Chain A
Amino acid sequence: MRRIGRRAQFFFVLGIVSLALVWPTPPQFRWVAWLCVGLAGLWGVLFSIEDLASPHAGSRLKVPADEAGLFAPPPAPGQQRPS
Chain B
Amino acid sequence: MLSQAMFPWLLLTAAFLFTLGALGVLIRRNPLVVFMCIELMLNAVNLALVGYSSYLNSEEGQVFAFMVIVVAAAEVVVGLGLLTRVFSIGRELDVDDLDEMKQ
Q: Do A and B bind each other?
A: no
- Which residues of A approach B to under 8 Å, CB–CB? none
